Chains A and B, each alone.
Chain A
Amino acid sequence: MSDLIKLSAAALGEKIAAGEVSAEEVTRAHLDRIAEVDGRVHAFLHVDDEGAVQAARAVDAQRAAGDKLGPLAGVPIAIKDVIATKGIPSTAASKILEGWRPPYDATVMTRIRDAGMVMLGKTNMDEFAMGSSTEYSAYGPTFNPWDLTRIPGGSGGGSAASLAAYEAPLAIGTDTGGSIRQPGAVTGTVGAKPTYGGTSRYGLIAFSSSLDTPGPCARTVLDAALLHQVIAGHDPRDSTSIPLPVPDVVAAARQGASGDLTGVRVGLVKEFSGEGAEPGVMAVFRDTVEALTKLGAEVVEVSCPHFQYALPAYYLIAPSECSSNLARFDSVRFGLRVGDDGRNSLEEVMSLTREAGFGEEVKRRIILGTFALSSGYYDAYYGQAQKVRTLITRDFTAAFEKVDVLVSPTTPFTAFELGARTADPYQMYLADLYTIPTNLYGGPGISVPAGLSDGLPVGLQVMAPTMADDRMYRIAAAVESTVGTFAPPAL
């Protein structure tokens, strides 16, 4: 095992730029690691060995030619399979897209390539990003490197696990209700959901358009900030992309690493005071809040009375949008086609394809959303959920008049054992209890490792106002500077 795989992305970028190590060496070290452990972790659905080595060599050639390299040039990265990658399978972990190779790159992917980063492959996830454990992948689950009998969170379990297993120093995730932050929390890694519209959704295979947000996954806060800086910024291909400058998240992460939070007002959400959460999680949370106080932060409790309705509102809005977004998977233009034998009608072929191609959880949400949007039910369900969404946004706005950031545990429980929550969808949905409000509001949120409970990682979530992503990086870096980072046992 090469020592290179344990280095941060920032350190790797510096060494490559300085010529201390070649991008190809770094890439091969990670590809070797994937070959060594991914049989047990199953973080990847597709590894692009050849493409990765080629991309690395291109960076090395640039350096040899005297070009100045960016901070992440030559640094490998794993990409969640929900992101369209030109010529590389992009299945969103669904059978219905098996073998589909997009003819185009997502905007985040274009920016990653433009930064000289090296894509290692595509990571596992819950099918179409619907789930909190990666058990709903059509290609089998991912296992948590901290304990291979446990889930790595979801939907972006593959991206988080690839970091914890040292298969990649950086990864891309997407966060609709917590799919970056919750896997980050249960794998002891950093996961940041940028402000909605701060990162482009172009090329992100849509689950819930008004909530989906691509973001960085890393092992350190600074690494996440560096990747954030690469992928964020206005994209004319995404109408909901915000045409404003990207907050300087890298500077904020460096500032936070100094450990000084004097004058920062931190809010504790009264409604997230621990009911239903594991005692061990709450214990780590309280210790972390205590640590923030010691760093100079002023901690106050704020009430967000509508957060209790976030979960039901989310489970109307997200399925409604998904029922429409997933309608395009109909066997006509791409992906799976079942029953096209000349005997079945068009409707039958569509139906057979969707029956065979979609997993149970995806079907559940399509049916739920179709119902919620139906004539006669729209006002009671989708319409009502939108009103709740407005109230939650007002809760955030009011809270941010009193405090700079809000903090909570990222998730009520640590990594659970595979199969523990698949029987009851509601038990699975609870994993996102603390992360969902941020998605409904549209603001940024980050999960940073805060400690261990019974040997399993616990994450602290920092939530900030929209387009104040820098603020959450500062707090997260301060937490990291005082509690340190956490490494799983050797695989």
Chain B
Amino acid sequence: MSTNVLPTYDDVVSRYEPVIGLETHVELGTVTKMFCGCPTDFGAEPNTQVCPVCLGLPGSLPVANRAAIEATIRIGLALNCSIATWCRFARKNYFYPDMPKNYQISQYDEPLCVDGYLDVEVDGELVRIGIERVHLEEDTGKTLHVGGATGRIHGATESLVDYNRAGIPLVEIVTKPVPGLGARAPEIAKAYVAELRDVIRTLGVSDVRMEQGSMRCDVNTSLNLPGAEWGTRTETKNVNSLRSVERSVRTEMLRQAMVLDGGGTITQETRHFHEDTGDTTSGRSKETATDYRYFPEPDLVPLAPEPVWVEQLKAALPELPRQHRARLKTEWNLSDLDMQSILNAGAVELIERTVAAGASPEAARKWWLGELSRRANADGVELEAVGATPEQVAKLQVLVASGKLTDKLARQVLEGVLAGEGDPEQIMAARGLEVVSDTGALTAAIDEAIAANPEVAEKIRGGNQAAAGVLIGAVMKTTKGQADAKTVRELVLARLAS
């Protein structure tokens, strides 16, 4: 009997242990498709990037794309996998209109890369996620169901299929089951996907844009009582942002706990994640799932990557994100805590680019973690979408360093940048925000201030330097804040010392 009461998260993790596993699909950014010469550009007119092969026309045959194989091996190497010396493609048979051949060329029991791991840093602690396999397959087309309420095939009056995506190389990265994460399971799932994304981006083999679907996650979750066998898992599909990865694990943990608390059992099934509500709903049950009748793809010769080639690819791997971050931490002379706050803010690359554009690491960090983070939070956007480029921030900092802007003025210029008014120098000119450094103009303003405040001037002459604040304030008022307060102070004291 289900009591239908959703427990609290703390309660759930105090009584149950989660096991998670992630299957991540990454569309490779090869110029041509996996098994034919069609282009892979995103967003083209439907069914314009197709040929007899990716349409599965009778008689057509696939030929494997070497660049895609290379990219997959590089991903495998970056994830510390063993690379098969001999493996095959396999056919996965099932009927669906967006599957041109009604089978998908994939890999089954002979994947290209096996048995690796990815170290993920969470709050300064390293968590090792085991990688079961990395294999290569072809993407399907896209189906659009029109006329129904749900966007699903049931109830639709028409189904439109776009085969442009059919045959785009797809790499599937499958983790081993990850037990023992406890309350941190959702957070670590997210951190794993983020790290994987960064690794793949560093390799330059995919643009890994979750919002465009070039990186997609299926999240497996189960709960068990401490010491008991692992529970029945569900597979949550349609998890298409980092935030959703975290939410879907948490949601599914709560839901499963509720079912188990009520004496129910978990059904092994596919569940759909809904971005809007954060809920998962039941898809098809895996128990009655299709028998895919895998068998080795007879149209393709086996893959046998030359060990020499694999060694070359391994030697040529770029610095991976974790090593990269370690190096930056040293170069920027940061404490663990500083580095962690940069990572948490997702600002590593932004700061790096800002430094590359001429700012000091410290200043770059100050801008991105200070003013810009506040602004991003206020606007509810990712830091990189806040509206200022690293180049603009660097420019701003250069202007401060050279004395053309005070910190306060710089913040006003930044306002302009964020408002889309252009580059810092344009905004300075347009808003008239330059520091008043012309000593003639300043001297006049100071004389005016002294004349207006004779008793204050007298105090300063008498040695009370603290009284200078009144005069400095008056000068700043006259110059509309565009003078450097330190310079003004020096000038005031010099004037009254003589």
Contact = CB atoms under 8 A, between A and B. Distances in A.
B64 to A, nearest CB: 7
Interface string A339-377: 000000011001000000000000000000010011100
Interface string A192-231: 0000000001111110111000000000000000000000
Nearest to B93: A324
Given A324-B103, A324-B295, A238 B61 contact: yes
A264 B46 CA distance: 61
Contact of A236 (B55, B63, B295): B63
A327 B61 contact: no
A401 to B, nearest CB: 26
B399 interface: no
Nearest to B102: A327
Interface stretch (B75-83, B187-195, B298-306): B298-306
A102 interface: yes
A203 B161 CA distance: 24
A469 interface: no
Contacts of A327: 93, 95, 101-103
B160 to A, nearest CB: 12
A435 interface: no
A136 interface: no
Contacts, number: 100
Interface stretch (A55-63, A155-163, A330-338, A481-489): A330-338
A100 B58 contact: yes
A323 to B, nearest CB: 8
Contacts of A236: 63
A84 B58 contact: yes
B133 interface: no
Question: SS class of chain A's interface: helix, strand, loop or mixed?
Answer: loop
Interface in A227-266: 236-240
Interface string A155-194: 0000000000000000000000000000000000000000
B295 A320 contact: yes
Nearest to B51: A104
Most A CB contacts (10 A, CB to CB) among B62, B153, B298 go to: B298
Contact of B293 (A102, A210, A240, A373): A373
Contact of A375 (B100, B291, B298): B291
Contacts of B153: 346
Question: SS class of chain B's interface: helix, strand, loop or mixed?
Answer: loop
B61 A378 contact: no
Contacts of B452: none
Contacts of B57: 84, 102-104, 333-334
B300 A239 contact: yes
Contacts of B300: 239-240
B60 A203 contact: yes
B159 interface: yes
A260 B193 CA distance: 72
Most A CB contacts (10 A, CB to CB) among B62, B95, B295 go to: B295
A375 B61 contact: no
A92 interface: yes
Contacts of A103: 52, 57
B298 A205 contact: no
B177 interface: no
B295 A373 contact: yes
Contacts of B101: 327-328
Interface in B296-349: 298-301
B56 A202 contact: no
B138 to A, nearest CB: 14
Contacts of B301: 239-240
A100 B58 CA distance: 10
Nearest to A369: B293
Nearest to A103: B52
Given A84-B58, A240-B301, A333-B100, A104 B52 contact: yes
Interface in A71-113: 83-84, 90, 92, 97, 100, 102-104, 106
A382 interface: yes
Most B CB contacts (10 A, CB to CB) among A102, A237, A375 go to: A237
B97 interface: yes
Contacts of B293: 323-324, 370, 373-375, 378
Contacts of B52: 102-104
A126 interface: no
B61 A346 contact: no
Interface string B122-165: 00000000000000000000000000000001000001010000
Most A CB contacts (10 A, CB to CB) among B58, B62, B295 go to: B58
A470 B59 CA distance: 28
B33 interface: no
A480 interface: no
Interface string A372-413: 011100100010000000000000000000000000000000
A378 B161 CA distance: 33
B91 interface: yes
A173 to B, nearest CB: 15
Nearest to A211: B298
Contacts of A432: none
Interface of A: 83-84, 90, 92, 97, 100, 102-104, 106, 201-206, 208-210, 236-240, 320-321, 323-324, 327-330, 332-334, 346-347, 350, 370, 373-375, 378, 382
25 contacts: A102-B58, A103-B52, A104-B52, A202-B60, A204-B59, A205-B58, A238-B61, A239-B299, A239-B301, A240-B298, A240-B299, A321-B298, A323-B93, A324-B295, A327-B101, A328-B56, A328-B101, A329-B58, A330-B102, A332-B161, A333-B55, A334-B58, A346-B159, A375-B293, A378-B293
Q: Which 7 A-B pairs have the closest CB atoms?
A: A327-B102, A209-B298, A373-B293, A210-B298, A84-B59, A203-B59, A205-B58
Given A238-B63, A347-B95, 20 more contacts: A83-B59, A100-B58, A104-B52, A203-B60, A208-B298, A209-B298, A210-B298, A239-B62, A239-B301, A320-B295, A328-B100, A328-B102, A330-B102, A332-B161, A334-B58, A346-B97, A373-B295, A375-B291, A375-B293, A378-B295
